[in-house]
Amino acid sequence: MFKKILIANRGEIACRVIKTAREMGIKTVAIYSDADANALHVKMADEAVNIGPPPAAQSYIVIDKVMDAIRQTGAEAVHPGYGFLSENKLFAEALEAEGVVFVGPPKGAIEKMGDKITSKKIALDAGVSCVPGYLGEVADADEAVKISGEIGYPVMIKASAGGGGKGMRVAWNDGEAREGFASSKNEAAASFGDDRIFIEKFITQPRHIEIQVLCDGHGNGIYLGERECSIQRRNQKVIEEAPSPFLDEATRKKMGEEAVALAQAVGYTSAGTVEFIVDGERNFFFLEMNTRLQVEHPVTEMITNVDLVEQMIRIANGEKLTMTQADVKLNGWAMESRLYAEDPYRNFLPSIGRLTRYRPPAEVNEKARQVRNDTGVFEGGEISMYYDPMIAKLCTWGPDRASAIEHMRNALDGFELEGIGHNLPFLSAVMDHERFISGNITTAFIEEEYPDGFQGVSLNNASLQHVAAATAAMFRVAEIRRTRVSGRMDNHERRVGRDWVVSLDGGQFDLTIDADHEGSNIIFANGDEMRVTSDWTPGGQLARLVVDGVALVLKVGKIPGGFRIRTRGADMKVHVRSPRQAELATFMLEKIPADTSKFLLCPMPGLIVKINVEEGQEVEEGQALCTVEAMKMENILRAEKKLVVAKINASAGDNLAVDEIIMEFE
């Protein structure tokens, strides 16, 4: 076995690989850019080598620098993780030239699977089902129309070198085919410098389902079931699960066997993933093969109990697979939620900055519940602008899909994350979405269910009642603590009352608290009774309670006269008042938030570098209004429509907070 391996990556995946390597008794070398000097993967590794400035193009993907680090540390093998150099054949060649083992497939396999047209040809030859289409390069628009007609509409016109949704067009008729060809070609030329175009059948009700394969260098190949990755936002996977709620045993077997056949057709070794698109009738079509470890590999590990990184290292070391296809048993259900530093309330705008609070839920490994969190960050760490905005991969496992989802809900509720915008509320919302729960999902799920973006979650009345019971019990405890202050008048202490009115999310609950030493009985005015128990103490930012026999996890913040409560994707102000306070509160006027369309608000805390306009000036749509510098990035704020600047409230050099008014319009 290798004595030392280098991990040519950063973030959670570097940490993930280091964990397994350490368990195998292998020493680890991390590489890091200047921005990652304090990163978790650097702390975890036995050795670490700086490989240059923050941008990946000047550090993590510079082959020479990685090679230098290998020479310097004497690493015998390299695990590339995903992204960066993981599917770079030049890197594999460079390693080979120096006799360093690449923990991944042979370079030939990388190359063959790297090109969409080549890979599809190989797949067809290997008997793998492919999307009906024309594999050759399409010469011109006329040919595009002809081919489209032969395949049958709708068709997808795609750039050969494409990815990330660029250079892709759907056409439903000849006219659209003609147009789509031209625009795909232009986009492909501009984006990839390669304008080769091909056409295939457009799949309706598509699901993204992929097969995990493992092949050794001795001709053995197995598949470890599938992963369903249909929950995507703009081709970025957000939630994955294994197995898929859609496949039956026969389809799974067929897909698995075809995937292994394809891998073996290109002499594949190591772990790899064959991606399929599956239509509403369970017809599956080969999409592409990823010749590396996938981000979402943990869900496979959780249902198969196979450590994929360990297998990759063993295969790279020339070992034989110790398990056969018959040994692969899919056990239970696993879910993965990707936590991104993206603000769902601001159209998933990337958010960077300091993680002032980062407390993932505890990892557990029980008979009916597992929680696993793969991460590369820590409290007090920084989410940098230079890399992927993924913070962590939170995975849960249960004996079935419903329990895996339930564990995920609770794990998400218990995940404390502050300092940056993040998609936790969105993930929680999906976990509670009826269509997601039903398993009836397609790759268009997010687009269809959140067409206007994510507006937050409103809890149903039953959940609100639980939150009301919980917060009333908590508030009472906090109020009692306040009465225990020194300096009070003996014998004339304040007695905290039993009757409370809880208002939240527009609703109101009148209730009475009957407390004992173990918990509180909440009696609602409508007669409902609930028992609340918790070990929450005043000031606690996370409350774990049992309300009416149901576990409830709340993130708790302070607001005047109540709490800010975050749970299940909802973010609410909860006021807990005595009946008299509640009565008087009814006289308070609802303050209508100012019409912000007449203002230019500062979108982030930052420094005003320049104001480009003057008071009274008429500006056109898209015209630059001012420049805000935040995190050393200059952001130009532009007019959303034609406007007249009425008043400018800030000047160059001012430091502004989020939502401070920079200028007003007429």
User: Applying CB under 8 A, which of residues 180, 381, 389, 414 lies at the interface with other proteins?
Assistant: 381
Q: Does 489 bind other proteins (CB under 8 A)?
A: yes
Continuous segment of H or E residues that includes residue 42: helix 40-44
Q: Does 488 bind other proteins (CB under 8 A)?
A: yes
Q: Does 421 bind other proteins (CB under 8 A)?
A: no
Q: How far is CA 576 from CA 477, 527, 552, in A?
A: 12, 19, 18
Candidates 183-191, 260-268, 368-376, 582-590 — which segment interacts with other proteins by CB under 8 A? 582-590
Q: Does 584 bind other proteins (CB under 8 A)?
A: yes
Q: Is 202 helix (H, G, I), strand (E, B) or coil?
A: coil
Contact at 8 Å (CB) between 127 and 261?
A: yes
Q: Which is nearer to other proteins, 193 or 539 (CB)?
A: 539
| Torsion sign (Cα): 191, 192, 193, 198 | negative
Q: Is 70 helix (H, G, I), strand (E, B) or coil?
A: helix
Distance CA 585, CA 577 (A): 9
Distance CA 220, CA 535 (A): 53
Q: Which is nearer to other proteins, 193 or 487 (CB)?
A: 487
Q: Which two tokens stand for residue 408?
A: 């995920």
User: Applying CB under 8 A, which of residues 186, 347, 483, 651 lies at the interface with other proteins?
Assistant: 483
Residue of 402, 448, 444, 427 lying closest to 338 (CA atoms): 427
Q: Does 380 bind other proteins (CB under 8 A)?
A: yes
Size of the site for other proteins (CB under 8 A): 44
CB of 619 to other proteins, least distance (A): 26
User: Applying CB under 8 A, which of residues 204, 322, 331, 581 lies at the interface with other proteins?
Assistant: 581
Q: Does 235 bind other proteins (CB under 8 A)?
A: no
Distance CA 153, CA 234 (A): 23
Q: Does 492 bind other proteins (CB under 8 A)?
A: yes
Distance CA 533, CA 545 (A): 6
Q: Does 647 bind other proteins (CB under 8 A)?
A: no
Q: Does 594 bind other proteins (CB under 8 A)?
A: no
Q: Does 322 bind other proteins (CB under 8 A)?
A: no
Continuous segment of H or E residues that includes residue 245: none
Candidates 89-97, 391-399, 586-594, 638-646 — which segment interacts with other proteins by CB under 8 A? 586-594
Q: Does 379 bind other proteins (CB under 8 A)?
A: yes
- Angle, helices 174-192 vs 141-151, to 10°: value is 120
Q: Which is nearer to other proteins, 425 or 606 (CB)?
A: 606
Residue of 166, 170, 256 lying closest to 215 (CA atoms): 256
Distance CA 247, CA 256 (A): 12
Contact at 8 Å (CB) between 298 and 336?
A: yes
Which residues in the 280-299 window bind other proteins by CB under 8 A? none
Q: Does 537 bind other proteins (CB under 8 A)?
A: yes
Q: Does 165 bind other proteins (CB under 8 A)?
A: no
Taking the CA atoms of residue 639, residue 640, residue 642 and residue 645 in that order, the dihedral angle to the nearest 10 degrees is: -40
Q: Does 164 bind other proteins (CB under 8 A)?
A: no
User: Applying CB under 8 A, which of residues 64, 560, 592, 595 lies at the interface with other proteins?
Assistant: 560
Which residues in the 104-123 window bind other proteins by CB under 8 A? none
Candidates 172-180, 391-399, 426-434, 485-493 — which segment interacts with other proteins by CB under 8 A? 485-493
Continuous segment of H or E residues that includes residue 399: none
* Pattern 597-626, other proteins, x by CB under 8 A: --------x---------------------
User: Does 666 participate in catalysis according to the annotation?
Assistant: no
CB of 10 to other proteins, least distance (A): 17
Distance CA 460, CA 432 (A): 11
Q: Which is nearer to other proteins, 25 or 560 (CB)?
A: 560
User: Applying CB under 8 A, which of residues 137, 493, 514, 615 lies at the interface with other proteins?
Assistant: 493
What's the one-letter identity of residue 459?
Answer: L
Q: Which is nearer to other proteins, 29 or 496 (CB)?
A: 496
Q: Does 382 bind other proteins (CB under 8 A)?
A: yes
Candidates 124-132, 274-282, 380-388, 451-459 — which segment interacts with other proteins by CB under 8 A? 380-388
Burial 341-364 (b: 16+ CB within 10 A, else e): bbbbeeebeebbbebeebebbeee
Candidates 40-48, 77-85, 244-252, 378-386 — which segment interacts with other proteins by CB under 8 A? 378-386
Q: Does 54 bind other proteins (CB under 8 A)?
A: no
CB of 586 to other proteins, least distance (A): 9
Q: Does 578 bind other proteins (CB under 8 A)?
A: yes
User: Applying CB under 8 A, which of residues 98, 249, 591, 614 lies at the interface with other proteins?
Assistant: 591
Which residues in the 497-536 window bind other proteins by CB under 8 A? 497
CB of 646 to other proteins, least distance (A): 15
Distance CA 75, CA 5 (A): 5
User: Which one of the listed residues 87, 288, 301, 342 is annotated catalytic?
Assistant: 288
Distance CA 301, CA 6 (A): 23
Candidates 111-119, 266-274, 522-530, 581-589 — which segment interacts with other proteins by CB under 8 A? 581-589
What's the one-letter identity of residue 425?
Answer: P
CB of 512 to other proteins, least distance (A): 15
Q: Kindly give the residue spans of alpha helices, DSSP state H, lying in 394-499.
A: 401-413, 424-431, 434-438, 445-449, 461-483
User: Applying CB under 8 A, which of residues 538, 609, 624, 635 lies at the interface with other proteins?
Assistant: 538
Q: Which two tokens stand for residue 102?
A: 């690449």
Most distant CA pair in the chain, distance: 95
Q: Which is nearer to other proteins, 402 or 594 (CB)?
A: 594
CB of 387 to other proteins, least distance (A): 17
Q: Which is nearer to other proteins, 102 or 536 (CB)?
A: 536
User: Applying CB under 8 A, which of residues 57, 402, 585, 658 lies at the interface with other proteins?
Assistant: 585
Contact at 8 Å (CB) between 255 and 211?
A: yes
User: Applying CB under 8 A, which of residues 99, 193, 527, 539 lies at the interface with other proteins?
Assistant: 539
DSSP 280-340: TTS-EEEEEEE-S--TTHHHHHHHH---HHHHHHHHHTTPPPS--GGG----SEEEEEEEE
Continuous segment of H or E residues that includes residue 93: helix 89-97
Q: Using CB under 8 A as the criterion, which residues of the chain lie in contact with other proteins when the complex forms?
A: 37-38, 354-358, 378-382, 481-489, 492-494, 497, 537-541, 558, 560-561, 578, 580-581, 584-585, 587-589, 591, 605, 655
Positions marked active-site: 288
